Amino acid sequence: MPKQQANRKRLLIDPQVQWALALRVLMHWGMLMVCLLMANTMLTLLSMAGEKPLTGAVGEAVRHQVPLMLVLLVLIPVFIRDTLKLSNRFAGPMYRLRIALKELGGEKGEARPLKLRDGDYWQEVAGEFNVVRDRIEQLEAENQTLRMAEHQPTATPVEYTSL
C-alpha cells in the first residue's frame, strides 16, 4: 500500500504568489459587495417609490443592506483562507520544483526524484523533471567514465629485436 504524504503544515508556500491571489480575491469581493449593495439599494428604492419621500427611502434602503454587508464581511476571511489553501496545490509543486532545480544545478549536481502530493496540480511536471534528471545523471555517469578512460595510461607498443 503506498505511503500517504502528510498534509501541508504551512498556509503560505510561496507568499508573493499566494498573497497576490488573495488580494485579487479581495478586490473581486469588494467589487461584488459594491455591486450587490447598489443593486439591492436601487431595488429597495424602486419598491418604495411613491410610498415615502426620497430622502427617507434612501436611508431605509441603506439600512436594509446592513445584514447583507455583515454576511459578506464574515465570509471574506473564509474566501481568503480557501484561496490560499487551494493555491497550495500549485504553489507547493512549483516550490518543490525550484528546490529540485537548485539541487540539480548545485555543486553535487544531484537531486532526488520529484514527488508531489496527491491532489497537487502539475503532476506531469514532476514526471518530466524526473526524466530530465535521469538523463542528466546518465550523461554525468558517461562523462565520468570518459574522464577516467582518458586519464588511464595507455600501453605503448614494445618492439622486439632479434638477437
pTM (two decimals): 0.66
Cell numbers given for 7: 498534509
Cell numbers given for 159: 618492439
Query: Quick check: 81 and 18 in contact, CB under 8 A?
Result: no
Domain-embedded: residue 1: no
The reported pLDDT for the residue numbered 83 is 92
Is the confidence at residue 10, as pLDDT, over 90? no
Domain that holds residue 21: 15-109+118-151
Q: Which of 6, 86, 73 is nearest to 37 (CA)?
A: 73
Q: How far is 24 from 9, CA to CA, in rounded Å?
A: 24
The reported pLDDT for the residue numbered 5 is 58
The reported pLDDT for the residue numbered 49 is 79
Domain-embedded: residue 63: yes
For residue range 33-53, list pLDDT tens digits in order.
Answer: 999 999 998 998 888 878 888
The reported pLDDT for the residue numbered 156 is 64
Is the confidence at residue 161, as pLDDT, over 80? no
Domain count, the chain: 1
According to DSSP, residue 109 is labeled: -
For residue range 121-141, list pLDDT tens digits in order.
Answer: 999 999 999 999 999 999 988
The reported pLDDT for the residue numbered 8 is 67
